Amino acid sequence: MQDDRRPEPSSSAGPSRSQFKVAIPRLPARHAPPPTTTKSRQRDRVQRACRNCHKRKIKCSGGLPRCNYCEKTDKSCVYERPRRDRLATARDRNQHLVAILRDLSSRVSDDDRRRIDDALQDSDDHVESPTSLSSSKTSIAQQYEQHSRLHPFPSSSTHGPHAAETSPTSDRSSLPRLDGVVSEAESADDDTAENPEVVEAGFLGQISEVQWLQSLRSRVQAAETVFVGLTDISPHVSHPASPIFHASPMSLSSSPMQQVALINYYLDDAGIKLAECGNVFELPPEHTARLLFQCYSRTVQSSFPILPATLENQLHQYYNLVCNGQSIHCPQKWFALVNLVFAIGAKFSHLVQADWRADELDHVIYLSRAFQLLSMNDTVVVLSTPDLSTTQATGLFAFYYMVVGHVNRAWVMVGLAIRAAFSLGLHVQEPDDSIPPARQQNMVRTWWSLHALESLLSSITGRPSIIPNEDITTAPPSTTSNDPSQGGPGSATDPAFLNANSSLNLLTQQIISNLYTQRRATPSWDYLQQVIVSLVGDLDKWAVDFTSQFHPDLCSPTYEQQREKLLLKMQYYRLKILTTRPSLRRIERCYEAGTDDFTSLDRSVAETCIQAAQDVTLLVASETNVKTLYEKGPWWSMVHNVMQALAVLMNAIACPDHFRESLKGSIHCVKQLVGWLRAMGETSMVAGRAYQVLYSIVKTSKPYVWDAVAEVFPDEVAMVLQQPASGQVDPRYLSWPAKDQLSEALFQYELDGFGNYHFHML
């Protein structure tokens, strides 16, 4: 191999090459910059921002005695102490107070010593060491994890041997705020979210008479008093609460929704009651079924013709076959519809104190049967595509909850029914020759019944409608069924009455949308005045067009004709109150502010509102007693009508300088309506609670405000329900052929191989 090494040159070969090299020093190594740590990143930040900077979410310099922002804005600069320091201070203060109480216990009387010992004992029971607190948190977390493994989805309802009731106070920590706004004062302690009354009542808009009473209370309440809240009303209807109240020291500084909850007299906070009903296919005896069905059909069906026209005949044939010992199969939804009708009829029988009425909670039994028959606790069933029977049953659920005073639940249920009707296309008119005329008429009446129910509940709760009027193309139910053989509850309804009632419901939606629905851009008062005048004109035009159609030539109208007139008049005056209420409210605010910033038009419209409330009083007082008032009037919303008129009249009385001409009439009407409300409170929990609201407003107001009406609010009132008694039956509720021997037999059901139930006579 050739050697690549070259021989070194000799020193004699000329100058060396190394003599021309220059030594270059080594460059220092480039070290990577040190990693940025959290401490170095936050070196320019202070440990704790002051209150002003924290509230505005800006950078705080942390200067003392004031930071840069507080120095520039000339504000007081306060730095919050750490939570651990605050807890230590609170613990030291607590120990100091306990030591003082122990020292005082040896110097006071025996009663005071006993009270101090009890208080100290209670505080010792609630005090836990940090170790116990951490262990308890761990155990709770373990229990929750175990529960999540065993029950991944919470059950919607339970059916035990006793009445199952969902308490409004259960799981209150998970309930969100309804207004969506957390103020500065409520950021640390949110009482509204944990208040079951606020959550169960839901949002109530300015159209609600509850809001009107709240504005009245805040205006006339004495400054040195606290609001007297309602006592807890027992869920058992047999023992209504008397007007005994407890003071609520937080009411003066509570949130607006809490204040409204104190005035709210509806019973949504009572919870949902479901009972163990045994055999869900069991029906009451024929005599009881006939009476319950007639209570519904003679009072409800004309205003809300939601039931199929053939249901009454089917029920009659059902009992005939049972008496003959024949076997028959009916769908579960048919049994559900019948039980819902029985539940509503049973509630009416208790309101009028019918001699034949059953147990006070029989309507809960019927409702529970319908609940199980429709599998309302099954999410798969609830979310499945509905049919017409399910839509009708959901609407009856909503009507039942409105009847028992649960307007929030009623509004939710009618929303479900309306959306189910959307899925069936009931809101649009599409001619289909394949559908029999009787079924088409049933679909039309079902839609307008749900629309009427939603309009009523929206006007009570102040919530917007699901569908605007211009999106409805279904013709009003102005004609009855073309099949005269069907008969049933809807065959005797006057077509003119149905058309007039539907027109009023459409006007209701216009009033809510134009006057009470909040918009992004607030309209001017001049614009609202024009809208009010236009809506009042529409109401007056309706009165001219429809009232002349109700048999004007008859000198002695029939009972049904009198009832239809009363229903339409009551609804007409109710809508006139809603339309003219904003003008009255404007004068109330001017009276409160001590100004005259209103016009003669405002005063005239406000007087119209007061006159409409007085007309409601005349309608109510035209009946002889509460029983006839319920039978002829809208018994499902009678308390609402009375309280709406009372709210208007009492607001007018509280502004005597602006309504001197109508003051005397308003005082007289308030006395009459309060008397009727107390009479209704003997059988109605909602009416009894409404009277308590008025009583509390009067008793906590300035003394001179209610001098003229104080006599109708005695200090001691006892309301006791009468027990059922046997007696004669009103002949108006006996449309089925009466039999000498009533069928009192119970039925035994058998399940065949196809999953259907059959019954045989025992």
Q: Could you write out the DSSP letters of every residue in 710-739?
A: GGGS-S-----PPPP---PPPGGG--SPP-
Mean pLDDT, the chain, rounded, equals 77
Contact 303, 452 (CB under 8 A): yes
pLDDT, residue 685, reads: 94
| pLDDT category of residue 752 using cuts at 50, 70 and 90 | very low
User: Is pLDDT at 30 greater than 70 in this prediction?
Assistant: no
Amino acid occupying residue 684? S
- Determine phi and psi for 701, rounding to 5 degrees: -95, 175
| pLDDT tens, residue by residue, 245-256 | 443 433 444 556
Percent of all residues in the chain with a pLDDT value above 70, rounded to a whole number: 69
pLDDT, residue 129, reads: 42
User: Is pLDDT at 668 greater than 90 in this prediction?
Assistant: yes
User: Is pLDDT at 271 greater than 90 in this prediction?
Assistant: no
pLDDT, residue 153, reads: 36
Between these two residues, 376 and 460, which has the higher pLDDT value?
Answer: 460
User: Is pLDDT at 510 greater than 70 in this prediction?
Assistant: yes
| pLDDT category of residue 64 using cuts at 50, 70 and 90 | confident
pLDDT, residue 729, reads: 52
pLDDT, residue 201, reads: 62
In this predicted structure, which of 36-50, 58-72, 238-252, 343-357 has the lowest mean pLDDT? 238-252
| pLDDT tens, residue by residue, 529-565 | 999 999 999 999 999 988 766 555 556 788 888 899 9
Half-sphere exposure of 493 (CA within 13 A, CB side): 28
| pLDDT category of residue 406 using cuts at 50, 70 and 90 | very high
| pLDDT tens, residue by residue, 134-177 | 444 344 344 434 443 443 333 333 333 333 443 333 333 333 32
CA dist., res. 167 & res. 169, Å (int) = 5
- According to the 3-state scheme, what is the secondary structure of 479-493? CCCCCCCCCCCCCCC
Between these two residues, 350 and 18, which has the higher pLDDT value?
Answer: 350
What torsion do the CA atoms of 446, 450, 452, 455 make, to the nearest 10 degrees? -160
Which candidate, 447, 557, 492, 438, places its Cα nearest to that of 302? 492
User: Is pLDDT at 35 greater than 90 in this prediction?
Assistant: no
pLDDT, residue 640, reads: 97
Q: Which residue has the tokens 């230590």?
A: 88
User: Is pLDDT at 726 greater than 60 in this prediction?
Assistant: no
User: Is pLDDT at 390 greater than 90 in this prediction?
Assistant: yes
**Mean pLDDT across 73-93:** 78
**Mean pLDDT across 15-32:** 64
pLDDT, residue 37, reads: 54
Contact 319, 291 (CB under 8 A): no
pTM for the full predicted model:
0.69
Contact 163, 187 (CB under 8 A): no
| Of the ranges 189-193, 289-293, 489-493, the best mean pLDDT one | 289-293
Contact 217, 186 (CB under 8 A): no
Between these two residues, 332 and 728, which has the higher pLDDT value?
Answer: 332
In whole angstroms, what separates CA 587 from the centre of its chain? 29
Percent of all residues in the chain with a pLDDT value above 90, rounded to a whole number: 42
Residue 169 burial (CB count, 10 A): 14
Element (H, E) at 131: helix 130-150
User: Is pLDDT at 103 greater than 50 in this prediction?
Assistant: yes
pLDDT, residue 19, reads: 57
CA dist., res. 150 & res. 178, Å (int) = 31
| pLDDT tens, residue by residue, 598-610 | 899 999 999 999 9
| pLDDT tens, residue by residue, 729-744 | 555 555 455 443 333 3
pLDDT, residue 124, reads: 55
Q: In 324-431, where does DSSP find H-type helix?
A: 332-351, 362-373, 379-382, 388-403, 407-424
